[in-house]
């Protein structure tokens, strides 16, 4: 679902929704994921990195200088601790950002371009972030 969302693909399901597990239903009905998929800019995300460690990173620009980031593991052995920064992902935004994990709702505050972070990605799994700028309360709204 994360790759469909970051690639701006239509969200079609061809399954009996009555037979779907509650966990899978929560993923399908995730409001933030649907918001990202239906973003008015309509710009498709793209793969920005393909690491030798079998980790791929996708980025999609969204309205309001926000972005969707997907960390995708092609590994099959164990959870992988992927260390990076926005600068290493060739992120061109400036200022302070927050990243919300689309699946868990956890928020990482205080991200600057040079801030290092670690993402733990399960084998054949994804971590999806909604990255957005922190607006200064004293600054004019844009």
pLDDT in tens, 101-140: 999 999 999 999 999 999 999 999 999 999 999 975 444 4
Element (H, E) at 28: helix 22-28
The arithmetic mean of pLDDT across residues 76-95, rounded, is 92
Please give the pLDDT value at position 139: 43
Output the CA angle 21-24-29, nearest 5 degrees.
Answer: 120
Task: State the DSSP H helix or E strand holding residue 128, giving kind and residue range, or none if neither.
Answer: strand 126-133
- What value does the mean pLDDT take over residues 81-105? 93
d(CA 62, CA 42): 8
* 3-state secondary structure (DSSP) of residue 21: coil
Q: How many residues are recorded in the chain?
A: 142
Question: With 80 as the cut, is the pLDDT of residue 142 above it?
Answer: no
Name the token pair of 3. 């790759």
Domain extents in the chain: 2-133
Element counts in the chain: helices (H) and strands (E) = 3, 8
With contact defined as beta carbons under 8 Å apart, do 108 and 135 qualify? no
**83 close to 118: Cβ distance less than 8 angstroms:** yes
Q: What is the pLDDT of residue 140?
A: 45
Q: Per residue in 25-65, pLDDT tens?
A: 888 889 999 999 999 999 999 999 999 999 999 999 999 99
Return the CATH number of the domain spanning residue range 2-133. 2.60.40.1180
Residues 6+ apart with CB under 8 A from 3: 9, 58, 70, 72, 126
Predicted local distance difference test score (pLDDT) of residue 136: 55
């Amino acid at each position: 679902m994360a790759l469909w969302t970051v690639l701006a693909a239509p969200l079609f399901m061809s399954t009996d929704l009555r037979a779907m597990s509650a966990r899978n239903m929560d993923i399908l009905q995730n409001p933030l994921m649907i918001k990202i998929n239906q973003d008015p800019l309509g710009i498709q995300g793209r793969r920005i990195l393909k690491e030798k460690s079998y980790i791929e990173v996708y980025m999609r620009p969204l309205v309001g200088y926000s972005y969707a980031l997907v960390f995708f593991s092609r590994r099959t052995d164990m959870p992988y601790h992927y260390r990076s920064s926005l600068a290493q992902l060739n992120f061109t935004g400036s200022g302070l950002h927050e990243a919300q994990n689309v699946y868990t709702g956890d928020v990482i505050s205080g991200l600057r371009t040079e801030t290092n972070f670690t993402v733990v990605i399960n084998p054949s799994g994804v971590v999806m972030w909604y990255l957005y700028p922190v607006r200064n309360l004293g600054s004019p709204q844009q």
